[in-house]
């Protein structure tokens, strides 16, 4: 596999902004197919459409659950994941209950992640667990989440939703997303069967190469075209 193809197969092409319409979905699925990325990551109602649009390609269809804030009850997240799988999603990116993690209610977190992992695996789908590291910022909490994900058998740990906006001192909202420090910590704190996905703020070829170097096997991206066109220039197509 050449370098450009290798990098393309790291990318989960995100089609998640609340304003994105069915026409946007069609356009972005065409981008995903053209560049032969690993997957698209779509909103729950769009799974069936994405499956149809990507039929005959090697691009997988993934779906977000409890997105973006993670506040749904466990039973709702389980139902949402099960429905997404039945609609054709083969990858599920779930947001944890952030507040429960921040208050150290690890029994709840283990029950939640375990229930959704069981549902996904029953449907032969993989699950990626979003920690939202702009909110869950303490290293000991990130380590604990990795340990829980390892224990219950999730497939990936993931940094961010890309929508974990934090109010800044000037009143603006922004987020950091994936950092190399957190990615290395997550890699070191997870079992050998658990992979790492970077998400949030990776918008350039150098950014993608950096998260790959940090041990990531997947990366969420909206700047897919820019990243892969730059990769073609640097490494040849």
Q: Active-site positions?
A: 93, 158, 197
Burial call 23-59: b when 16+ CB within 10 Å, e when fewer: eebeebbebbbebebbbbbbbbebbbbbbebbeeeeb
Grouping H, G, I as helix, E, B as strand and the rest as coil, residue 224 is helix
* Contact criterion met (CB below 8 Å) for 112 and 97: yes
CA-based Rg of the chain, rounded to a whole angstrom?
17
CA distance 35 to 74: 36
H or E element: which one contains 61?
Answer: strand 60-65
H or E element: which one contains 62?
Answer: strand 60-65
Give the total residue count for the chain. 237
Q: How many CB atoms lie within 10 A of CB 100?
A: 16
CA distance 7 to 228: 8
* Contact criterion met (CB below 8 Å) for 129 and 66: no
């Amino acid at each position: 596999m050449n370098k450009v193809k290798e990098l393309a197969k790291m990318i989960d092409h995100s089609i998640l902004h609340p304003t994105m319409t069915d026409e946007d979905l069609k356009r972005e699925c065409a981008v995903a197919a053209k560049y032969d990325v690993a997957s698209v990551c779509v909103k729950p109602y769009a799974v069936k459409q994405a499956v149809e649009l990507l039929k005959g390609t090697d691009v997988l269809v993934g779906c977000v659950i409890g997105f973006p804030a993670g506040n749904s009850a466990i039973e709702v997240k389980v139902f949402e994941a099960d429905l997404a799988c039945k609609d054709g999603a083969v990858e599920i990116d779930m947001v944890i209950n952030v507040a429960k993690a921040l208050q150290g209610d690890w029994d709840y977190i283990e029950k939640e992640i375990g229930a959704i992992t069981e549902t996904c695996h029953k449907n032969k789908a993989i699950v990626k667990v979003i920690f939202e590291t702009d909110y869950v910022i303490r290293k000991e909490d990130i380590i604990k989440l990795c340990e829980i994900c390892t224990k219950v058998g999730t497939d990936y740990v993931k940094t961010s939703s890309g929508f974990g906006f934090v109010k800044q001192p000037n009143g603006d909202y922004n987020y950091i997303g994936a950092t190399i420090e957190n990615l290395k910590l997550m890699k070191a704190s997870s079992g050998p069967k658990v992979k790492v996905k970077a998400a949030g703020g990776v918008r350039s070829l150098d950014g993608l190469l950096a998260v790959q170097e940090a041990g990531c096997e997947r990366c969420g991206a909206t700047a897919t075209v820019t990243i892969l066109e730059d990769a073609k220039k640097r490494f040849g197509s």
